[in-house]
A and B are shown apart, each in its own frame.
Chain A
Amino acid sequence: EAGVAQSPRYKIIEKRQSVAFWCNPISGHATLYWYQQILGQGPKLLIQFQNNGVVDDSQLPKDRFSAERLKGVDSTLKIQPAKLEDSAVYLCASSLLAGPYNEQFFGPGTRLTVL
Chain B
Amino acid sequence: TQLLEQSPQFLSIQEGENLTVYCNSSSVFSSLQWYRQEPGEGPVLLVTVVTGGEVKKLKRLTFQFGDARKDSSLHITAAQPGDTGLYLCAGVGAGGTSYGKLTFGQGTILTVHP
A residues near B (Cβ < 8 Å) are 4, 9, 40-45, 48, 56, 58, 91, 93, 98-104, 106-109, 111
Contact = CB atoms under 8 A, between A and B. Distances in A.
7 contacts: A42-B6, A44-B104, A45-B102, A48-B101, A56-B101, A93-B42, A100-B30
Interface residues of B, number: 26
A66 B93 CA distance: 25
Given A4-B42, A100-B31, A108-B42, A43 B104 contact: yes
A41 B93 contact: no
Nearest to A41: B106
Given A42-B88, A109-B42, A104 B106 contact: no
Given A91-B43, A107-B42, 14 more contacts: A42-B88, A42-B105, A43-B43, A43-B88, A43-B102, A44-B104, A56-B101, A58-B97, A93-B42, A100-B30, A100-B94, A102-B100, A104-B102, A108-B42
A109 B43 CA distance: 10
A40 B101 CA distance: 21
